[in-house]
Amino acid sequence: MKTKGIKGLIVITALAVIALGVVTWRGYKPVLGLDLQGGVMVVLKPKGNPGPEQLATAILIMNNRINSIGVAEPDIRQENGRIVVQIAGIKDKEAAIKLVGETAELRFRAVLADLPPYQDPTTVGSTPGTEVPGTEVPSSTSATGVPGSVPDPAIAGTAPGAASIDAGPSTTATTSAPGPQALGLVLGESASAAQEAVTSSTVSDVGTPTPLADPTAATIGAAPTAAPTAAPTAVPAATPGSTPGVVDAPPGSVPEGTSAPAPTDTEAACRSAEGQATTQIASVPNKALIPTTTLEDDLPNTVVVLPVYRDEDLLKPITERQVERRVLLGCSRLTGEGLEDANASLQEGKWTVNPRFKAGAEGIDQFNAISAKCFAGTPECPTKRLAITLDGAVITDPSINVASFKADQIQISGSFTEATARDVATKLKFGALPVVLEREQVVEVSATLGQDALYAGLVAGAVGLSLVVLYMIAFYRMLGVLAIAKLAVEAALLWAIIAWMGENAGLTLTLAGLTGIIVSIGVSLDSNVVYYEHLKEDIRNGRTYRSAVDKAFDGAFKTIVKADGVSVLGAVLLYFLSVGPVRGFAFFLGLSAVLDLLASYYYMRPFVALALKSNLAQRKPGLFGLPRPNEVENTTLAKVSRRAKGMAVSAESARSGKSSTGGTTEEVSS
């Protein structure tokens, strides 16, 4: 007799073997979650109700920040309105936690000078003697001395300043087409000559004046570029202790910490620091050796050196970007809070970015205060360019071509493509309404505790599994062995899926997930129990093994589908309604239930059928824990049926007056 589903049996067994083989051959292993290998998890909740674009920018910034401390692939996900950051196996956990939750601030800073990209003195191959003294002591200084006391620039309106220096030159040219209304700020593109080491200036073709068709609009020609992210190269050490006002960098040394005169007068301190930095920078022979300010030291009231990335890299992941040039920037004059909104638009066939400032003292006035200086090219803004920075990198540093602007008629033009213009606008928007992230949960797991947990989970799993195996075999004999075989097939598939997804889809196996798997052992074997009990019952009720095998499966499978259906349903809901580790648990539980359905249908059914149709089962049913057909007649159902009949008969006879024996006789005779 042909057994149904033999093909399925072969296919699923082959599938399991092949999957396991491929995964092993490729060397894939499940990727352990940070609770099993140590690491940091931070759950962040955005305050307010930021849009998807906003959140995406926040995640991008976060990703770049974590990259900047040397972690290649942080696992950052958006789950259920939250951002979950997981960094496994990281050493400097504190730095990571700190970086992750901080809000990125958009700042407007005057460009003081241009610098070439950073060159690590050790790799340059230059003789030690040629090194700029002081390079190894890069530093930024905060004017106010104690970092913590830096006045909030947002409150101050204008960036009060402290100065710290590390600088880089850049270039830009501007052109403007002042609108008839005299508001035009035209920032032509920076066409200014790159100074010495400045490797590339995008400026060149940008310098074209942008004639304004729209009389009302002011144009800010811009040197397009930018990308958030700190260039982690150098680590300027902040020297918080330095006395304000004293800018005593060793001669020729790279700007060392400088600070402003009196903590009360941060603005004056800033001016002085800016002046110092500008002078010092000018005297540094090899500006490429001046380190870039790290993200940590990128404080509002310091003079900083920030990178400007190549235009064409704007949309690339941070690690693939190249620093085109760097700029020495003054203190922050205005933050993103002064912005109302920004968008990108096509003007005269060119893509431009149009920021809109808030009215009055909170926005446009402050912007005009600094832009007027830039327009005039005063020492506070010698390059006539104003840089907009976000999170340790320059987004764009357009030249200011008009002395005064109207809040909603500003245009930044440059060699933007549609994509880059939109990108810049997105970042400005983000700056206008930064996503403030609240750390809801911070979990640090040490590597040793993680290993212990993994060990405990594996041991517990092994012990639990052996107990279950013993029980199943004791109770169902050979059928129990078949159940274990099915479990093995499921396990092979599960392992292959976890390993493959770990490698390719970022799935991590957490302790919660491991628990889910251990629990699913029970779920899986339950299908066998349901089937076997069905089988036994049918055999007791008089079926032969052959007919019982298929019949019982049909009945049992309906139950299995319903029951596994509930498990899957629960797992799916749990997955979508929860955050973090709960998801891992739900995922593995749901996956196990689906695998169980497959294995029950394609593996258990034909396998059991084959076994029961074998001669062995016919001769020794005890080996399979099965009753012999017709061996037992006294089953529950039979008893109740008899009783039911008896009851019915007696009730009927009571009513009709017939004798109950009559009824019985009739039936017996029939």
Q: Which of residues 487-546 bind other proteins (CB under 8 A)?
A: 511-512, 515-516, 518-519, 521-523, 525-526, 529-530, 533, 536-538, 540-543
Residue 456 in the binding site for other proteins (CB under 8 A): yes
If you search the block for the tokens 């235009």, which residue do you land on? 311
Which of 279, 464, 550, 623 contacts other proteins by CB under 8 A? 464
CB of 107 to other proteins, least distance (A): 25
DSSP 440: E
Which of 182, 438, 616, 622 contacts other proteins by CB under 8 A? 438
Residue 88 in the binding site for other proteins (CB under 8 A): no
Residue 78 in the binding site for other proteins (CB under 8 A): no
Among positions 130-169, residues that touch other proteins (CB under 8 A) are none
CB of 355 to other proteins, least distance (A): 34
Among positions 547-576, residues that touch other proteins (CB under 8 A) are 547, 555, 558-559, 562-563, 565-567, 569-571, 573-574
Beta bridge partners of 390: 106, 393
CB of 642 to other proteins, least distance (A): 4
Nearer to other proteins, 378 or 441 (CB): 441
Phi and psi for 310 in degrees, rounded to 5?
Answer: -65, 145
Cβ neighbourhood burial of 438 (10 Å; 0-12, 13-18, 19+): exposed
DSSP 234: -
If you search the block for the tokens 């999170």, which residue do you land on? 391
CB of 646 to other proteins, least distance (A): 3
Nearer to other proteins, 257 or 581 (CB): 581
Which of 4, 29, 439, 477 contacts other proteins by CB under 8 A? 439
Residue 667 in the binding site for other proteins (CB under 8 A): yes
Q: How many CA atoms lie within 13 A of 326 on its CB side?
A: 31
Cβ–Cβ < 8 Å for 244, 258: no
**Nearest 10 degrees: Cα torsion 66, 68, 70, 76:** 20
Nearer to other proteins, 358 or 536 (CB): 536
Among the listed residues 469, 357, 476, the one whose alpha carbon sits nearest the alpha carbon of residue 411:
357
Residue 437 in the binding site for other proteins (CB under 8 A): no
Nearer to other proteins, 53 or 533 (CB): 533
CB of 475 to other proteins, least distance (A): 7
State both tokens at 592. Answer: 């196990």
Residue 585 in the binding site for other proteins (CB under 8 A): yes
DSSP 39: E
Cβ–Cβ < 8 Å for 179, 406: no
Residue 577 in the binding site for other proteins (CB under 8 A): yes
CB of 187 to other proteins, least distance (A): 41
CB of 487 to other proteins, least distance (A): 11
- Taking contact as CB under 8 A, which single stretch among the options 128-136, 236-244, 340-348, 464-472 is the one that binds other proteins? 464-472
Rounded Cα–Cα distance for residues 196 and 116 (Å): 8
Residue 453 in the binding site for other proteins (CB under 8 A): yes
Residue 97 in the binding site for other proteins (CB under 8 A): yes
Site string for other proteins, 22-51 (x = CB under 8 A): -------------x-------x-x------
Residue 382 in the binding site for other proteins (CB under 8 A): no
Cβ–Cβ < 8 Å for 445, 452: no
Rounded Cα–Cα distance for residues 447 and 126 (Å): 41
- Taking contact as CB under 8 A, which single stretch among the options 115-123, 345-353, 408-416, 458-466 is the one that binds other proteins? 458-466
Nearer to other proteins, 56 or 442 (CB): 442
Which of 455, 488, 616, 620 contacts other proteins by CB under 8 A? 455
CB of 460 to other proteins, least distance (A): 3
Across the beta sheet with 350-357, what order do the strands follow? 220-221, 412-416, 350-357, 339-347
If you search the block for the tokens 């002011």, which residue do you land on? 218
Nearer to other proteins, 334 or 649 (CB): 649
Residue 385 in the binding site for other proteins (CB under 8 A): no
For residue 439, the surrounding DSSP H or E stretch is strand 437-445
DSSP 385: B
Nearer to other proteins, 308 or 548 (CB): 548
Q: How far apart are the first and last CA of the chain?
A: 34
Which of 93, 310, 477, 546 contacts other proteins by CB under 8 A? 93
Rounded Cα–Cα distance for residues 516 and 514 (Å): 5
Nearer to other proteins, 14 or 566 (CB): 566
Cβ–Cβ < 8 Å for 413, 220: yes
For residue 560, the surrounding DSSP H or E stretch is helix 545-577
Residue 123 in the binding site for other proteins (CB under 8 A): no
| Total of chain residues touching other proteins, rule CB under 8 A | 112
Using CA atoms, how far residue 453 sits from 32, 281, 518, 579, in Å, is: 11, 54, 14, 21
Residue 103 in the binding site for other proteins (CB under 8 A): no
Among positions 299-338, residues that touch other proteins (CB under 8 A) are none
Which of 285, 506, 647, 659 contacts other proteins by CB under 8 A? 647
Nearer to other proteins, 125 or 148 (CB): 148
DSSP 604: I
Cβ neighbours of residue 596 under 8 Å, at least 6 residues apart? 490, 520, 523, 524, 527, 560, 564
DSSP H helices, 349-417, are: 364-376
- Taking contact as CB under 8 A, which single stretch among the options 210-218, 232-240, 611-619, 645-653 is the one that binds other proteins? 645-653
Among positions 170-189, residues that touch other proteins (CB under 8 A) are none
Cβ–Cβ < 8 Å for 552, 544: no
**Nearest 10 degrees: Cα torsion 101, 393, 271, 219:** -120
State both tokens at 538. Answer: 């049918």
State how beta strands 106-115 and 323-335 pair.
antiparallel
CB of 658 to other proteins, least distance (A): 10
Nearer to other proteins, 191 or 571 (CB): 571
Residue 449 in the binding site for other proteins (CB under 8 A): yes
